[in-house]
Amino acid sequence: MRLTCVDSFSGAGGLSLGLQEAGFEVLLSFDIEPKCIETINNNKKYFSHPALCEDIRNMLGGRLLNEIGLKQGELFLLAGGPPCQGFSVQRIGEDVDSRNDLVLQYGSLIDEVRPMFFVMENVSGIQGKRGKTILSELISNMEAIGYVVHKQLVNAEDYGVPQRRKRIILVGERRDIGSEYTFPELTGERRTVRETIGFLPEPPEDGTSHPEYPLHRRDRLSDKNIKRLMALQQGQGRDHLPSELLADCHRIDSAIIGHRNVYGRMSWDDVAPTITARFDSFTRGMFGHPEQLRSISLCEGALLQTFPIDFMFSGSKVEIARQIGNAVPPKLAKIIGESIIEYYLRKEVRDFVLSGNH
């Protein structure tokens, strides 16, 4: 049995990296963002499969099956994380977001391809008022075409990822395959910020890249933000700033307006906060270095997301931060992938024994 896989909404390839390490043969990745596809294509050390810059709508109508040379029902795993910004609890604005429809488009692709298994990853906010109707519709649609859908809220820190990162994971299995998949047990491994990035030297003061680590460079901070960092200890955020260093919008108590962890420092001996698409900005979260007067570098963010240190990202600083922050941590992807393979192989052995053909 070939453990074939397609990574849809692939981003920079975090999911592909982990699934490959778990034992999957990735046949194809696709994403609508050109820089994400450029990143995958530039990492020949890690990827040898084709990657297409395509909207999911262009992969419907038989296109995906043609690209991978398989018939309906033959693909082992279809994986992907449709864009989640529309469901994010941090987003401000209308509840309706055109990106949310991509979850149902993903369902249409599953319907066409009929893989043995599918995986979908999304923010926990998809269970809130902005997403629960769409999530419920997707699950109902998948059940109607013959899948058993398993859903779980997973925190990446419980699986050795050095970061608090809560995500909804769906694993669907075709009923002719089975119905008893269970999510992996917690590993008990806890990896800290210090263990993950503590070995890195301080980046150059002039904002240039470190000669040994190209993405390890410091962001330019205003004098006021430097004073804010100087006023903070590890693990502290805006609630610990003196009043004269508070932004005007933060003079209302964080218990009322939230955002208590903006302008914050990470702690060496704790996990990092969720690495978001704007982790490159000290003003956007607890992204200050535990000791130094700077926000964490792109290199440090990628390591906290469990990318290999020599993984290369394409694009501007903002584009790279977005690719890193939006990725599925490869380590989490590996553990989910392994759990699917182990479940399938265990079931195959059991069915073989029960059939009396041994």
3-state secondary structure 126-137: HHCCCCHHHHHH
Task: Yes or no: say if 256 and 232 are a contact pair by the CB < 8 Å rule.
Answer: no
The DSSP letter of residue 4 is: E
- Of 293, 340, 357, the C-alpha closest to 23 is 340
Q: Are 286 and 265 in contact (CB under 8 A)?
A: yes
DSSP states along 273-287: ----TTTT-GGGSS-
Runs of H (alpha helix) within 30-156: 34-42, 63-68, 101-113, 132-144
Q: Which of 147, 156, 113 is nearest to 7 (CA)?
A: 113
Catalytic-role residue among 5, 84, 249, 299: 84
Give the integer Cα–Cα distance in Å for 164 and 255.
21
Catalytic residue at 5?
no
- Contact residues for 99 (Cβ-Cβ < 8 A; gap 6+): 82, 83, 85, 86
Residues 187, 234: Cα–Cα separation, whole Å: 27
Tokens of 351: 């069915």
List of residues 6+ apart from 136 with CB closer than 8 A? none
Please list the active-site residues.
84
